[in-house]
Amino acid sequence: MRQSFNHHLKADVLIIGGGFSGLWAAISARRFVENVLIVDKGPKDWGGLGTSSGGDFQCVQDTTVDAALDDLVYYHDGLCDQELLETILTQSFERFQHYERLGVTFSRDEKGKLKAIPQRNLTHMKMLLVRPYGTGGPSMRDALVREANRLGVRRLGRMCVNELLLDEKGEAVGAVGFHAQSGETFAFSAPAVVMATGAGGWKPSYIFMSNSTGEGAYLGYKAGAALSHNEFMHIWNVPVLFAWEGQTGLLPVGARFVNAEGVDFMKEYYSPTLGANTDTTYNCRGMAFEARAGRTPIYFDTSPISAENVELLKPVHGWAKINYDRLIADEGLDFFKEKSMWMPQIMWHSGGLATNHDYETAVPGLFAACRCRGLDPGVYMGGWALCTTAVTGYITGGNAARRAQEKGLALFNRTRAAEAMARALAPLGREGLPAKDLVRETQEIVYPYEVCLIKSERSLKKALARVERAKEAFLPRLSAKTPHDLAKLQEGLSMLQAAELFVRSSLLRTETRAGHHREDYPQRDNDNWLAWIHAERGPDGEARLYKVPVPLERYRIKPYRYYMDNFTFPGSETAR
């Protein structure tokens, strides 16, 4: 067993994940402590998934927090932590102003009023646009990195964290990992650890989303924290032949999806009230039913958009502008004048660490920010992710730093750390199966539409049986030739865990709500399922699932309207 590390780094606050939420956490933590360290599996300062975003931002600036919260309770079909989201909404404009102070520019009209696009046919949830359009993600990343530099935040890239370290009382005191290129081993000690790794996922083709594989949830779950929202995933409509960011801005101003017969199928068959101006998962569900009916391929039609809105939403910089120009030059296709073929694609898993309202998990000293913390039931709107990364990252970093002030130095057990490192390095150099085989297997488990979009007991039990076979066939035989392969193996293990918890939780929730659709249980069941499902790792390593009721007795808003009631999918008529 390796008895020492190449490096032992100490910090007041250790942040795992260097995306937008991690950077916001670091900026906030520096208000209270000196030594803040970010480690990330990607290149230093790449900015995570936020860098590939359009840079749209939601905040409460021309409405009230109560009105916006009412929209969210409605949009989440009542499955909404109202106290948590109220805090996010209350602090959203402060973080927006913070972005502006850091040099990020947002679109305003000739009178200086912020331009806002309502989302998902909601009255009070609106996204603001970064200028120039197409530069949003990179400009936000650059602003946050500049601020981290100014504050002296230490940052390490290419760092794969394998295991969290706990002291004798079960409190988080650090982590172990290795450099994914050099193979150098690292031990980190800190009295407060923030998981800011983003959401889980199954490596889709869409931009940086292939890097979002949920290691934060995986590490926290192994350490004893509970996970929530595992039965939900986010599925987007994406172009078949190219990438595009911004449909959430295009749908409200007239874009639509049409089937092979030219029919606006969402408006014609599934939601006459909302049409396609809704959450992507609902649109993808409609696509799946269109495929069943033999009315594919599906096209995205931007021709109804006015010339004024085309100019507002046409990319002028960044990768979207590159794709736009190439479509015209190479394919003769003008995105804003013609139809293009689109398809559903799984993007990320909603499952994340369960926390209290200070974003601390059941493991003392372990915190979770943004998508690493389960927040929503599989529905999304433009600009909301960048709002929640900023607000939850800022809150979490401050809370972690205050704990570090209180606890002082971490009680770091070097022997326990060496044992954890030995477990992590065990697959390195041995003969066996590569991680890519496990990755492909998990994709084939969750990707079929009858598992991810139109669920049933039959399809889910079939998927669960395949999960169990994968655990038996792959886990004892996984191997890695290089440190890079070992990092990919860690991603594969996280993906398999996410697949298992997604299928098990989907089987348990015998109703339809928000992003979860059970064909055999098409009705909403508030009596039994106005509750979150939490998963904990039992002593035998198996998942233990249980319900946590939504505490309506202390919430101000009692659910009285439900977004899902705007839709009538085949078999759901009895739910009306």
Instruction: Over range 568-574, report the average pLDDT.
Output: 74
Which CATH number fits the domain that encloses residue 58? Answer: 3.50.50.60
pTM attached to this predicted model: 0.95
- pLDDT interval class at 411 (50, 70, 90): confident
Q: DSSP assignment, residue 327?
A: I
Instruction: Over range 98-122, report the average pLDDT.
Output: 92
Q: Which helix (H) or strand (E) holds 189?
A: strand 185-189
* pLDDT above 70 (res 88): yes
Q: Which of 30, 29, 39 is nearest to 9 (CA)?
A: 39
* pLDDT at residue 1, as a whole number: 38
Q: What is the extent of the structural domain holding 473?
A: 427-575
Q: Please give the residue that has the higher pLDDT: either 208 or 254.
A: 254
Instruction: Over range 333-344, report the average pLDDT.
Output: 91
The radius of gyration of the chain's CA atoms, rounded to the nearest angstrom, is: 23
Same domain (yes/no): 151, 29: yes
* pLDDT at residue 244, as a whole number: 82
Same domain (yes/no): 64, 152: yes
| Residues 5, 187 contacting (CB under 8 angstroms) | yes
- pLDDT interval class at 174 (50, 70, 90): very high
- pLDDT interval class at 131 (50, 70, 90): confident
* pLDDT above 80 (res 349): yes
Which CATH number fits the domain that encloses residue 511? Answer: 1.20.58.100
| Residues 172, 193 contacting (CB under 8 angstroms) | yes
The DSSP secondary structure of 478-543, one letter per residue, reads: B-BSSHHHHHHHHHHHHHHHHHHHHHHHHHH--S-BTTB-BTTB-S--HHHHSEEEEEEE-TTS-E
* pLDDT at residue 314, as a whole number: 85
Taking the alpha carbons at both ends of the chain, their separation in whole angstroms is: 62
Residue that terminates a domain, selected from 382, 398, 421: 421
Task: Give 537-553 pLDDT, tens digit per residue.
Answer: 999 999 999 999 999 99
d(CA 521, CA 569): 12
Who's near 498: CB < 8 A, 6+ residues apart? 200, 201, 202, 213, 214, 217, 218, 230, 349, 351, 442
* pLDDT at residue 448, as a whole number: 97
Percentage of the chain exceeding pLDDT 90: 82
Same domain (yes/no): 547, 559: yes
Same domain (yes/no): 192, 313: no
Residue that terminates a domain, selected from 291, 317, 346: 346
Q: DSSP assignment, residue 115?
A: P
Other C-beta atoms lying within 10 Å of the C-beta of residue 181 = 13
Mean pLDDT of the chain: 94
| Residues 287, 266 contacting (CB under 8 angstroms) | no
Same domain (yes/no): 50, 177: yes
* pLDDT at residue 575, as a whole number: 39
Residue that terminates a domain, selected from 346, 366, 391: 346
- pLDDT interval class at 573 (50, 70, 90): low
Same domain (yes/no): 431, 526: yes
* pLDDT above 80 (res 245): no
Task: Give 141-160 pLDDT, tens digit per residue.
Answer: 999 999 999 999 999 999 99
Q: DSSP assignment, residue 455?
A: B
Same domain (yes/no): 474, 388: no
Q: Which helix (H) or strand (E) holds 470?
A: helix 457-474
Instruction: Over range 93-102, report the average pLDDT.
Output: 97
Instruction: Over range 192-202, report the average pLDDT.
Output: 95
Percentage of the chain exceeding pLDDT 70: 98
Same domain (yes/no): 153, 301: no
- pLDDT interval class at 367 (50, 70, 90): very high
d(CA 456, CA 462): 10
Same domain (yes/no): 136, 249: no
Task: Give 222-241 pLDDT, tens digit per residue.
Answer: 999 999 999 999 999 999 98
Counting the structural domains of the chain, the total is 3
The DSSP secondary structure of 426-452, one letter per residue, reads: TTBT-SSB-HHHHHHHHHHHH-SHHHH
- pLDDT interval class at 366 (50, 70, 90): very high
* pLDDT at residue 2, as a whole number: 45
Task: Give 3-39 pLDDT, tens digit per residue.
Answer: 478 999 999 999 999 999 999 999 999 999 999 999 9
The DSSP secondary structure of 330-361, one letter per residue, reads: II---TTTSEEEEEEEEEEE--EE---TTSB-
Same domain (yes/no): 511, 500: yes
* pLDDT at residue 247, as a whole number: 82
